[in-house]
Structure 1
């Protein structure tokens, strides 16, 4: 019994240590990610279990042997480390707020600069993180946006009373372009925004290896075209659509913002506007061709994943670069809020830093960037101390983008109209 107690406490201490400082290296990226992600976002629950386990052991067995003392020492170390993880997670609120204040300026600071404190309902969601529902929010499931089966379906979240002309949030799931579902990701943010009166849409799209690039992006644009034509029936305003997503969904989010109305990416619906008004990519892939020279990025480019996604006949570097957000930077890009975890084991934080730097050089619109200490990949999948803070910050950014849309829309409408006119003149 004492030996198992020591093993349990040692396990807690190791998990906490990995959450604080993940083991680097591609061969260990999956187990390091899984243990670090769950430990970091479930740290309060793990701390409570560790402390309770120690208290029960001492109450039943006392502190009689050397193993008892070792177990308690490990328990103390684990509790201290988990407390540090929790404190780091709480820091996400200030990290996000500082990023938004710095990039959006005085107008944002005056109107939106209050950091929301977690109320009773928020803390209940954090301590019951897998309860993915919100009172007052309705979900409409499995609407078809294009022919092709379940990979061409979407869900809609809206307030029970169905708002009128509400801004729209468009969510794209991640999963390395090979797995994932509209029912699994982005839910805390969509529930929050739907409760605020937004209409939220989450989509499926075809997955590799059956689908090869750019089928994923074309499907997302098909879904956007469907939303633009039909979202009014669910209370949404087709004239304001923001897009968000994580990992591969973050990559697609960036591509949606950087390739509006590109005819080669919307075959059969070339004259439908696919422009979006704001982008919030979480821990996205931004360099598909290795142009940054970052070692983990080069390893990813040379891995078996890229031929699976881009097709075995993809030409390097042209086809790789065509799928890379870094190759599509533009002055009229919509406002971006980029979020990335500093402890991400899958997509290096340096990749996000380069993307933000280059996008800021190119874009005329704000590019906010929050780099979250202690955050692993997928930090926003379920409610946690960190993800609750991120959801609130993203909500403030989205509402800022919606409120200030008129400062950008005249120019955007003119450029879209000119592009459509040119295509019509050319016979496209």
Structure 2
């Protein structure tokens, strides 16, 4: 089970692997990647280990863990389990993005020849034929529900064992092809030759936010998987493996994307959907039939990773409800909510509604719920949790002295950093220095 924790813990990061190259591109390349790695190995892994401890000690869901290990006012602490809902809200609009990736697997065989055509194709894929979009969304939704219905061992573990190696193979094929392209050396220079002058305070906060999100923190995912761990599992090795997986996938994606970007003179600083669904598909089209094949492989890889992410988002709240009802009934309740909200998000993104549900959900989860969930987790472990339970898990790993330093780090450093992220989400901290 340590293996599935390592794979599933990085699942959200893998499913959003396209975010890594886009954020690296907009923040100056290699320097941002090094900053991201540093923050993963400090703030990120400290919180990751803390969430593992919660699930490992109680063998239960996040809300029950908060209740069981509280030093005082356990009922009040249990309320922190509400942040498991973050994963449900994220999943509702995340499936919209995943359905777009699924749609592009088939669109890969009719690639646009220029940026204007690529933009038009992207717009059509979003809202041109809403019936097709709903079908793609429904396929992604039912596939996710089916996997989760099988449970952690029969569903999630088996999914990760099959899909993660497949994802690596697909990316390795594309990486091998990238080695033959003119832009590969420029991509290596962009990713491995740091220029720290391009970093800013916003880059620091972007890197920190990305590290927290790719490690699947703040929604109860890690503590849920940790509840199934046996006592022999080395949680430090599993945590480091998650960081390694996220970084390796990110570097591979970065090399592939930026090789094509530099080979054909596109803009490496373009972000978000513009880089993946517009620029990259246009560049693939320049390779004719081979480009269609690689485009198809690329979006299949993203789709595989995205399914693992979707499963990880829904499992924590499912696990919580399973203690009160059957897993089937829990998934029916969650599924109805996710499907309705997801369809609203789909219609909002396609401009079929007067209110943009997609953007609202994105803002609510990314800027408010996710940071608050991580903040509550760090404050709980540092101040509200029974200290002896925490030390019992980590003294054998770190020793008594290092465990004390780690505990102080969680108490005082981590919450301050998370609060800075929250402030920056509403008012850029860089404005204070102008």
TM-score normalised by the chain length of structure 1: 0.26
More strand by share: 1
* Structure showing greater relative contact order (alpha-carbon pairs closer than 8 Å, 6 or more residues apart): 2
TM-score, structure 2 as length reference: 0.25
